[in-house]
Amino acid sequence: MAYWLMKSEPKDVSVDDLAAMPEATVGWYGVRNYQARNFMRDLMRPRDGVLFYHSSCAEPGVVGLAEVVGAPYPDPTQFEAGNKYFDGKATPEVPRWYQVDVRLVRKTRLLSLAEIRQHPDLQDMRLLARGNRLSITPVTPAEWRVISALLAA
């Protein structure tokens, strides 16, 4: 089992939006960074843990725990002309972009980025790396345990 931090802008899909979706599940569409795509396509597997993270908002941070619930598959938005995620170089035979389905396990209190930065056991977390802008990053088992404990407190 692996662990991931997956960022979503609340104006696109918030934790409350996810909770209201059928089976509290969403296809993680629109990733257009090759490294983040490779994480999904090559490394993510069903039952992997996910820290659902709100980004590009007034107070970014972890707002829920989720899990990957299916194998990676081509992101259909890459084929939809007029969609902001359309990619004219992608074809159904040779897709460029992938997604996984993510199911909300539970909404949590906000564990803010500021609070994460203050915790000594999280100082090496990829989220905090200078210049990191990836929407999907791996989380170590130790980081997962620390964050889970902080969310349970």
Burial class (CB in 10 A: 0-12, 13-18, 19+), 39: buried
pLDDT of residue 79: 97
Write out pLDDT tens, residues 104-140: 999 999 999 999 999 999 999 999 999 888 999 999 9
Write out pLDDT tens, residues 56-104: 999 999 999 999 999 999 999 999 999 999 999 999 999 999 999 999 9
Contacts of 90 (CB under 8 A, 6+ apart): 74, 78, 79, 96, 97
Quickly tell me which residue has 């107070």 as its tokens: 59
3-state secondary structure (DSSP) of residue 120: helix
CATH architecture of the region 3-152: Roll (3.10)
Nearest CA to 104 out of 52, 46, 43 is that of 52
Domain boundaries, the chain: 3-152
pTM of this structure: 0.95
